[in-house]
C-alpha cells in the first residue's frame, strides 16, 4: 500500500502566545511541534503499513522549520517526507494548502491508497483542509475518525457526529481525518531518530508542482489578533448571611448585569 499522512507544524500547545506590534502572533522563542491531531494521523498511517505493508509518505506545506516536524515523523516510522516550501505560501490559508497538497498528491505522488490527516490544526481550528483536499482529489472522507479497519480494498470507520457516533464503510482510495482516540501515538525511539537522519526528505517549490503564486493566492487573511482581557480580581464578601446575600444580588445586578 502507498499511504500518505498530511501534517502541519504548529505552536506547542503549552506555548505562551504573544502578539507583536503589527497585530500578528509572534513565533519568537516559541517551540514548534507536529500538530497533535496529525500525530494520530501519522501513527495510524504507520500502523496500516505494519499491518498491510507498503510505505508511508509524510507531506506538509511550510517553511524551513517544518523539516523538523517531518524528521520527527520519520523517526516515528514513516519512510520518506516531502516539504513544499515557497515564498508565495508564507501566509497560506486553508484553500492554498489544499490546492498545493492536491497537486502534489494527484501528480507527484499519484497511486496512493489512503490519505490520513488530523481533523484540524490546533493553531487556527479551521478544520478546512481535510474536506477541501478530499473534494479536490475526489475522494470519500471519513473525518473525526476514532476507529478504522481496512480490509480487501475497503475501510470501515467510526466517526464522531453531533450527539453520538456513526459507522461508515467506503472503498479505497480514501481520506481519513484523525480524532483523539483513534490510536495511542508512539514516541520515536533512539534507533528511529538515528534512521530518520538518513531517510529521504524532498523539498519542492510551487514551480516543481506546476503552480504559480496566483494559484495559491490567499482568500482569507488574518488582519490582526488580540489576547483576551486579563481576568479581573475577584471580590470577597464578608458579614452576616443576609448582608452577604444582599451585596451579592446587588453586584450581580449592577456590575455583572446578569440579573
> What was the pLDDT predicted at 102?
97
> What was the pLDDT predicted at 25?
72
Assign 121 to helix, strand or coil. Answer: coil
Strand partners, 157: 148, 168
User: CB of 220 within 8 A of CB of 93?
Assistant: yes
211 phi-psi bin (left φ>0, alpha ψ -120 to 50, beta other):
beta
Distance CA 142, CA 44 (A): 14
Distance CA 237, CA 21 (A): 40
> What was the pLDDT predicted at 202?
97
Distance CA 57, CA 151 (A): 20
10-residue mean pLDDT series, the chain (259 residues): 96 78 72 94 98 97 96 97 96 94 95 96 90 96 96 95 94 96 95 96 96 93 79 85 91 85
pLDDT digits (tens, 9 = 90+) for 217-251: 988 887 877 778 888 788 888 999 999 999 999 98
Q: Do strands 55-61 and 2-6 pair parallel, antiparallel, or not at all (unpaired)?
A: parallel
Interior CA angle at 122 toward 121 and 126, to 5°?
55
Strand partners, 201: 81
DSSP result, 168-186:
EEEESSEEEEE-TTS--PP
> What was the pLDDT predicted at 63?
94
> What was the pLDDT predicted at 233?
82
Assign 202 to helix, strand or coil. Answer: strand
Nearest alpha-carbon partner for 81 in 249, 167, 203:
203
User: CB of 175 within 8 A of CB of 133?
Assistant: yes
Distance CA 17, CA 193 (A): 29
> What was the pLDDT predicted at 241?
93
| C-alpha cell read off for 89 | 505560501
CA 200 from chain center: how many Å?
22
Provide the sign of the torsion angle of the four alpha carbons 98, 99, 104, 106, taken in this order.
positive
Distance CA 183, CA 46 (A): 11
The DSSP code for 53 is -
| C-alpha cell read off for 146 | 476514532
| End-to-end Cα distance, the chain | 62
User: CB of 65 within 8 A of CB of 31?
Assistant: no
> What was the pLDDT predicted at 88?
95
User: Domains in the chain, start-ordered, CATH in brackets?
Assistant: 2-216 (3.40.50.620), 233-259 (no CATH)
The enclosing H or E element of 141 equals strand 141-151
Distance CA 10, CA 137 (A): 25
> What was the pLDDT predicted at 111?
94
> What was the pLDDT predicted at 223?
80
Q: What pTM was computed for the model? A: 0.84
Amino acid at each position: 500500500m502507498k499511504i500518505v499522512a498530511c501534517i502541519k507544524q504548529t505552536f506547542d500547545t503549552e506555548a505562551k502566545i504573544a502578539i507583536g506590534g503589527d497585530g500578528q502572533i509572534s513565533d519568537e522563542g516559541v517551540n514548534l511541534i507536529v500538530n497533535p491531531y496529525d500525530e494520530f494521523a501519522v501513527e495510524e498511517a504507520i500502523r496500516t503499513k505494519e499491518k498491510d505493508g507498503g510505505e508511508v509518505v509524510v507531506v506538509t506545506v511550510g517553511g524551513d522549520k517544518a523539516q523538523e516536524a517531518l524528521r520527527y515523523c520519520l523517526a516515528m516510522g514513516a519512510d520518506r517526507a516531502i516539504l513544499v516550501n515557497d515564498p508565495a505560501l508564507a501566509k497560506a490559508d486553508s484553500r492554498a494548502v489544499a490546492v498545493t497538497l492536491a497537486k502534489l498528491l494527484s501528480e507527484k505522488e499519484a497511486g496512493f491508497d489512503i490519505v490520513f490527516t488530523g481533523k484540524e490544526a490546533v493553531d487556527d481550528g479551521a478544520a478546512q483542509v481535510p474536506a477541501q483536499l478530499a473534494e479536490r482529489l475526489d475522494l470519500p472522507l471519513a473525518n473525526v475518525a476514532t476507529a478504522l479497519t481496512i480490509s480487501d480494498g475497503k475501510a470501515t470507520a467510526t466517526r464522531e457526529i453531533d450527539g453520538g457516533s456513526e459507522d461508515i464503510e467506503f472503498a479505497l482510495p480514501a481520506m481519513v481525518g484523525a480524532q483523539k482516540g483513534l490510536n495511542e501515538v508512539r514516541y520515536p525511539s533512539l534507533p528511529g531518530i538515528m534512521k530518520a537522519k538518513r531517510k529521504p526528505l524532498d523539498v519542492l517549490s510551487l514551480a516543481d508542482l506546476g503552480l504559480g503564486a496566483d494559484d495559491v493566492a490567499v482568500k482569507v487573511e488574518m488582519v490582526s489578533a488580540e489576547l483576551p482581557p486579563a481576568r479581573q480580581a475577584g471580590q470577597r464578601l464578608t458579614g452576616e448571611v443576609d448582608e452577604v446575600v444582599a451585596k451579592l444580588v446587588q453586584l450581580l445586578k449592577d456590575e455583572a448585569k446578569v440579573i
